[in-house]
Structure 1
Amino acid sequence: MKKRFILLFSILILVLSACNTNDEKQEDNDKAASDNEKDTITYESEDGPVEVPADPQRVVVLSQFAGDLIKLGVHVVGADSWAKDNPRFEELKDAATVSEDNLEQIIELEPDLIIGLSSTKNIDKLKEIAPTVTFTYGKAGYLDQHIEIGKLVNKEEEARKWVESFEKEAKDIGKQIKDKIGKDATVSVIEKFDKQWYVFGDNWGRGTEILYQAMGLNMPESVKEQALKDGYYALSEEVIPDFAGDYLIVSDQSGAEDTSYLESDTFQNIPAVQNDHIFVVNGKEFYFNDASTLEYQLEFFKEKFLGE
């Protein structure tokens, strides 16, 4: 009887030991599965779901989204020349200047995520290097675009909080500006690029999204007619007065170092210039509508319009 008891007890111990071992293995498997799930996320891109790193460490940006990644604290190892030329993007000082034409250079950077536009060249080849996500310019609103970048790099909550804060601040500053310059005052945004001049609508960077969308400031009728639909309109210096509002923002791609053109008869006869309502900005700093640039543009407008 005693031997039978000992035998049964031994069998019970073996069964319990086996169960514990299986439970431990299952826990390890569950933990491993959980860890693997954290390694990647699925982003719903314009072209369908894409598996991307949950915490990207080596991002290559072939478009205007570098400032969004900077604002979200994401490490960029390669950026296009436009972003690299922005003197305010100090976070990119160690990043390589890349283009979609130099695939070998991108391979050498060993990116874990590539971001571009739908018009970017060699997209299929880029996808062979690393998960690649592209966006169509203007398909998402300028603030929604920041949220999309946030989703892509697994920082949606941070992106949404920034958008909420920015919208509130821009609206408040816009109200102060309207109260100061008058609700009917008009604002124009023009740019000097090489020898060509352009005037812009309400969604082409250079602060247009803030002035016209966030703040609701007025656009001259001539600008509405020519630039609102396409986003921009090319013009000669001689006709700039026809598109100048009560206030004139000049984005200068030369870096705003040579503003001798302001001394020409064309500019000197513009009421905005005569009234000292002209603000010249470094176009390299003012170019895009990413989160980092939007913050800078907003502070610029606050200082220039309100004297703060």
Structure 2
Amino acid sequence: MSSNRTSRRAVLVSCAAVTGALLLSACGSDSGDDSESGSGEGKAAAATTRQITDAQGRKVKVPGDPRKVVTLSEPTTDAALALGVEPVGVTAGRGQKGVSTYLADKASKAQVVATVAEADMEKLAALQPDLILLDETTGAKKTVDKLQEIAPTVVTAKLNEDWKKSFTDTADALNKKADAEKWLTGFDTRVADVKKQLGSNAGTSVSVIRWQDGAPSVVGKGDGVVASTLQALGTTRPKDQQGASTGHSEPVSLEKLDTIDGDWLFFGTLGDKADGEKAYGEAQKVTNFGKLTAEKDKHVVVIEGSAWNSAGGPLSAQVVLDDLEGALAK
């Protein structure tokens, strides 16, 4: 159903539940204080509605206190969980069947209703969400009109949007923008603290790669979570890892293995750290991998790859900073 139809139905339900001519008059007004009936352990909960303008310039009326949120992209799932909102429906992590492993504990009750490529409309609709969030990192962006028929749908960010702005805009759709700004203040303070602890690693060269199908791919270029965090810490990147990325990742042939070298090499897969450890064992058997400076100096750091390879979000940034601090801080 459309968001307008949803709002009208909510108004009728709320108005039928109250008495008194004054309250009835208020329910029928266009003040924006429309009420919706929600259930939680048998108790009804009233919620106001708000109108926001999303990243595509669409004006969307959203619940002031959404109870059943579906997040169809990695950044919106990450952001919601960082703000204490566990979605009822989520997207699978990049290259994974379930939610990204770094988010699994926080999203244990969520049902996977989408992949990076597309959403499963039938599964999504069955959840009866009151708010759908996504951004342009997911193929579901092509079906916004269909999603809007299920529940109010907000596109929170354009492709390649600064992750901090994407976070605060997602938070705004959840009516938690102040919480997001507070979170970011704390994160920036911690980045500054870690930078002071780098000692001899200040300005060090950091390479970030994902190992897949027996070969590396460069990740974390451009302005995303990885690149911006490394830049904020004052580290540098190898020559071939500078500038904008031509895609989410850039494959590197084994004949050019030396181009992924740096003072430090952060190494992972699309999965968790255990999967990264297994891949690292495979990489060590590859010709010339042992000649890399980072390998010889024992500066290869196996990481939680699902976070480093994520399309971004505050919790992925937190994991990236944790891994960097653990390896580089003195």
Q: When the two structures are superposed, what TM-score results if normalisation uses the length of structure 2?
A: 0.76
1:107-129: per-residue Cα shift (whole Å, max 9, x none)?
Answer: 10111111123342422111100
The number of aligned residues is: 278
The residue that corresponds to 1:224 in the other structure is 242
**The one of 86, 96, 106 aligned to 2:111:** 96
Moved more, 258-267 or 155-164: 258-267
Q: Does structure 2 retain, via aligned residues, the 8 Å contact 1:202–1:231?
A: no
**The one of 43, 47, 50 aligned to 1:41:** 50
Secondary structure of the 1:50 match is strand
Q: Which portions of structure 1, spanning 4 or more consecutive aligned residues, are displaced by more than 4 angstroms?
A: 24-35, 227-231
Q: Equivalences for 1:1-308 in 2 at 5 Å?
A: 25-26=21-22, 29-30=25-26, 35-36=33-34, 39-47=48-56, 48-64=58-74, 65-82=76-93, 84-99=99-114, 100-118=118-136, 119-120=139-140, 121-134=142-155, 135-139=157-161, 141-177=162-198, 179-183=199-203, 185-200=204-219, 201-205=221-225, 207-212=226-231, 214-224=232-242, 228=245, 232-254=249-271, 255-258=275-278, 259-260=280-281, 261-288=283-310, 289-306=312-329
How far the C-alpha of 1:228 sits from its partner, in A, is 4.8
The structure where helix makes up a greater share of residues is: 1
1:139-178: per-residue Cα shift (whole Å, max 9, x none)?
Answer: 3x1111111111110001000011111112112212322x
How far the C-alpha of 1:263 sits from its partner, in A, is 3.7
Q: Does structure 2 retain, via aligned residues, the 8 Å contact 1:57–1:75?
A: no
Secondary structure of the 1:218 match is coil
Q: 1:58 to 1:142 in 2, by over 3 A?
A: same
Q: Does structure 2 retain, via aligned residues, the 8 Å contact 1:61–1:115?
A: yes
How far the C-alpha of 1:204 sits from its partner, in A, is 4.5
Q: Does structure 2 retain, via aligned residues, the 8 Å contact 1:170–1:215?
A: yes
How far the C-alpha of 1:30 sits from its partner, in A, is 4.9
For 1:104 and 1:231, the matched residues in 2 are separated by 29
Secondary structure of the 2:193 match is helix
1:61-87: per-residue Cα shift (whole Å, max 9, x none)?
Answer: 110121110111113011111161415
For 1:263 and 1:96, the matched residues in 2 are separated by 39
1:19-43: per-residue Cα shift (whole Å, max 9, x none)?
Answer: xxxxx85577458867527511112
How far the C-alpha of 1:256 sits from its partner, in A, is 1.2
Q: Which consecutive unaligned segments of at least 5 residues does structure 2 have?
A: 1-19, 36-46
Secondary structure of the 1:70 match is helix
What is the alpha-carbon root mean square deviation over aligned residues?
2.5
Moved more, 153-162 or 254-263: 254-263
How far the C-alpha of 1:272 sits from its partner, in A, is 1.1
Secondary structure of the 1:122 match is helix
Q: Calculate percent identity across the aligned residue pairs.
A: 24
The residue that corresponds to 1:18 in the other structure is none
Q: 1:257 to 1:230 in 2, by over 3 A?
A: closer
Counterpart of 2:165, as a letter, is D
Counterpart of 2:82, as a letter, is K
Q: Does structure 2 retain, via aligned residues, the 8 Å contact 1:142–1:209?
A: no
Q: 1:144 to 1:117 in 2, by over 3 A?
A: closer
Q: Does structure 2 retain, via aligned residues, the 8 Å contact 1:79–1:98?
A: yes
Secondary structure of the 2:185 match is helix
Q: When the two structures are superposed, what TM-score results if normalisation uses the length of structure 1?
A: 0.81
Counterpart of 1:234, as a letter, is P
